[in-house]
Structure 1
Amino acid sequence: MSSLSKRQFLKSLAGTAALSTWSGLDKAFASAAATPAPLLAEQEDFWAKIRTLYPVTNDFIQLENGYYSLAAQPVLDRYVQHIQQVNAVSSYYMRTRQFDDKRASKTQLATLLGCSPDELIITRNTTESLDTVIAGINWKAGDEAVMAEQDYGAMLDMFRLQARRYGTVNRLVSLPNHPQSDDEIVSLYEKAITPKTRLLMVCHMVNITGQIMPIRQIVEMAHRHGVEVLVDGAHAFAQLAFTMPDLGGCDYYASSLHKWLGTPLGAGILYVRKDKISSLWPLFADSSMPDDDIRKLNHTGTHPVATDLAIQDAIRFHERIGIERKEARLRYLQRYWTDQIRHHPNIVLNTPESPTRSCAIANVGIATIKPADLSKRLFENYKIFTVAIDNANVRGVRVTPHLYTTTAELDSFVKALKELAA
């Protein structure tokens, strides 16, 4: 490889290629720059333009974007380019540019999250991030952890594993689907804390119902009791407008980037507050890093670096849209369909009614139909894809629209619900 072509290659990897593929997004926002986010959220013509930038399937209506939402076409195009370019020089890239480029992606993520790059690592997903903390604490027999039965199952499994291994005690609370106040939620967790409690895990947004939790109040309460707080932010990052200082100084925060930031599969983040890094044990040993360097937690071996590179492209797309516009549109879409069925006598909403307590995600059930059957009938009879939830006081299907979802698709969903509930 000549020095000239090498420079061109590295320049391309740095993300400075021509922005022609982004022109559609720029054009769409040129005429909407002065429109307030809440008003823009209701303008279907505008969001129809945004939809054209996503490779949306026509085979069914996708209302299960919370598990994994498709990347926008400009991001996907750049991801394919990254794969091809890295593959072209293989180990040369891995030995010369890999870590600097990952650092650049991490720095951009830290800016979005409002923390130092030295408090953040790129992982593969939220589960890996949370497990790194849960398994990394120096547990002793009798130590206690507090969590909710509505938390993600993999995390509850990880806590059970620590109980088997170290003799720890897990204290579960059960979240109300329709809390009356933040104080009700905070009090629920506080009552579960004892002098032996070391860690409290809480969802920023409950994955099965979409309920947004009062994180700052919970963190401040737990810290008064000397308890560390681990926040599962799988669905909040890049869906809600916030930064780490808004959360009251939580000790650990984790999220996936393939949900709401729109990266290709295989990327997540873990934030560890600077003063908490040295006490965490790594899952995989790395003797090259000191105890107080967060990179000690990031020894994952050889992995698909093209995903790390595509993070920068996903951030660029995300910032073109703007988190305020994004959050406003997602909240509008959820309210659009839930308001139409909220008081139907045979339909049950498992998501709080207050607009501030939810955003894109909601959960709905039909009293006479099991969740699995409801999900199956929605897909087989109406070509609407959802996921069934039938545990922890939540019986229904989780419904998660995205920016490319249209109100016409939601009208079809509402019509299907009313027919099935009749």
Structure 2
Amino acid sequence: MKTSDLQLLARAEVRDLASYNAGLSSEAVRKRFGLTRIAKLGSNENPLGPAPAVAAAMAQACSEIALYPDASCQTLRAALSAKLGVPAEHLVFGNGSEDLLSIISRVFLDHDDQVVTVVPSFGLHFIYPLAAGAQVIGVPMTAAGEFDVPAMIAALTPRTRLLMFSSPSNPVGTTLGAEGLQQLLDALPAHCLMVFDEAYYEYAQFEAGYPDCLSLIQASGRPFILLRTFSKAYSLAGLRIGYGIVSDPLLADLIDRLRTPFNVNRVAQAAAVAALADEAHLHATLEHVAGERQRMAAALQAMDIHCVPSMANFLFFSTPFNAEAINQALLRQGVILKPWREAGYTDYLRVSVGSASDNDLFLEALANALATQQTRSA
């Protein structure tokens, strides 16, 4: 069979999909440019690393890796239930919250269904529903980078099955206030499930003014799935573990019907339990990010760079130049960011809040890149 014909073996929805932009690894950039110093600031990882107890928990779990993991994540389920005040049967677990997004799309979406989300967006909020055959309606955020709640409500139709978006927004970093969230909940059709992606919850809940979204959504009586992850503030990105809180155990049962039986490995479960127990380490992470984020935003403002206010561990900013041109200039200096590729946002980049030294390298490299672009365009 010719290579051109192999694509025809896939479903039409898959053939038309764009690939998810997972970003570059430090190894790839180091090898490509012959560099020794790399600041990896494209994937919103935690520069402080995991809690000290995580390594010991992982080592203990490794002694039993010949055995299948607990398919129900009972120890972690009990720990999360106690911490969140949520009944254990209202929790679901995934190989990262991305795994749960994929399962949710396959469980609840069919051809001709609609999903309402926002743009700019987390790419998988588009990719997974499109793969299921659904239509995705992207509602642009305002010019100030805020949620356009009236436009989101106007986009809801009798075909809308999921209202799915992240707050804090990925990639923008802004959050939906209590009033806006309540307006969305009040407008949610009976046939529509809210999927509230709160991957960056820990960073936001450290900030004044961030509402208790879980309590608001629970009080609404609407069907929902609220997603969180151990990849970001808890620094377990390499282990892939996320979880969801559902409004009704039936939703958990439906999700469990399509998840792989052992989708969260033994080591990840043990690490998550250990990470969850160390409040002091989490607090240190949140303090570091809040301080460095403020410093970085002020430095960008001093360069006359537009930066959207953020409650997450990243900043979304635009320059007068194409993002990919700036990105290439930064890569040559050993700085990995994520240039945005959605139409209307191709002059924006997202930078993670890293260590102080990595952040300094980014700011220096960006100043150099901007100066070079300005010289070329003069």
TM bucket (normalised to shorter chain) is: 0.7 to 0.9
Kept in 1: contact 2:115–2:163 (CA 8 A): yes
1:98 to 59, 67, 70: 70
Kept in 2: contact 1:200–1:222 (CA 8 A): no
Please tell me whether residue 320 in structure 1 is matched to residue 280 in structure 2.
yes
Deviation at residue 392 of structure 1 after TM alignment = 4.3
Kept in 2: contact 1:113–1:243 (CA 8 A): no
Kept in 1: contact 2:167–2:175 (CA 8 A): yes
1:301 to 259, 262, 265: 262
Kept in 2: contact 1:204–1:212 (CA 8 A): yes
Deviation at residue 67 of structure 1 after TM alignment = 5.4
Q: Which amino acid aligns with 1:252?
A: I
Aligned position for 1:63? 41
The 1:114–1:420 alpha-carbon spacing in structure 2 relative to 1, beyond 3 Å, is: farther
* Separation (CA, whole Å) in 2 of partners of 1:126 and 1:271: 11
Please tell me whether residue 398 in structure 1 is matched to residue 325 in structure 2.
no
1:373 to 325, 341, 348: 325
* Separation (CA, whole Å) in 2 of partners of 1:414 and 1:302: 39
Please tell me whether residue 234 in structure 1 is matched to residue 203 in structure 2.
no
Q: Which amino acid aligns with 2:103?
A: T
Kept in 2: contact 1:145–1:171 (CA 8 A): yes
Report the TM-score when normalising by structure 1. 0.66
Structure 1 segments unaligned to the other structure (5+ residues): 1-57, 285-297
* Separation (CA, whole Å) in 1 of partners of 2:265 and 2:252: 28
Identical residues among aligned pairs (%)? 14
2:116 to 143, 146, 157: 146
Structure 2 segments unaligned to the other structure (5+ residues): 1-35, 372-378
Aligned position for 2:363? 414
The 1:315–1:375 alpha-carbon spacing in structure 2 relative to 1, beyond 3 Å, is: same
The 1:71–1:177 alpha-carbon spacing in structure 2 relative to 1, beyond 3 Å, is: farther
State how 1:7-46 maps to structure 2 within 5 Å: none
Please tell me whether residue 206 in structure 1 is matched to residue 169 in structure 2.
yes
State how 1:23-422 maps to structure 2 within 5 Å: 59-66=37-44, 71-72=49-50, 74-87=52-65, 90-91=66-67, 94=68, 98=70, 102-137=73-108, 139=110, 143-162=113-132, 164=133, 168-176=134-142, 178-179=144-145, 185-214=148-177, 217-218=180-181, 220-226=183-189, 227-237=192-202, 240-241=205-206, 245-249=214-218, 251-263=224-236, 264-274=238-248, 277=251, 280=254, 282=256, 284=258, 298-301=259-262, 304-317=265-278, 319-323=279-283, 326-342=285-301, 344-345=303-304, 347-349=305-307, 351-352=308-309, 357-368=310-321, 370-381=322-333, 383-394=334-345, 395-402=347-354, 405-406=355-356, 408-422=357-371
Kept in 2: contact 1:114–1:243 (CA 8 A): no
Q: Secondary structure at the match of 1:178?
A: coil
The 1:224–1:174 alpha-carbon spacing in structure 2 relative to 1, beyond 3 Å, is: closer
* Separation (CA, whole Å) in 1 of partners of 2:193 and 2:41: 35
Kept in 2: contact 1:115–1:244 (CA 8 A): no
Range with greater deviation from structure 2 (70-79 or 228-237): 70-79
* Separation (CA, whole Å) in 2 of partners of 1:147 and 1:103: 33
Deviation at residue 153 of structure 1 after TM alignment = 1.8
Q: Secondary structure at the match of 2:142?
A: coil
Aligned position for 1:14? none
What's the Cα RMSD here?
A: 3.2
Deviation at residue 203 of structure 1 after TM alignment = 0.9
Q: Secondary structure at the match of 2:163?
A: strand
Q: Which amino acid aligns with 2:217?
A: G
Q: Secondary structure at the match of 1:391?
A: coil
The number of residue pairs the alignment matches comes to 324
Q: Write the deviation string for residues 88-138 of structure 1: whole angstroms up to 9, x where unpaired.
A: xx33xx4xx8368x3111222334444222111221012211222222126
* Separation (CA, whole Å) in 2 of partners of 1:201 and 1:63: 26
Deviation at residue 244 of structure 1 after TM alignment = 5.3
Deviation at residue 144 of structure 1 after TM alignment = 3.1
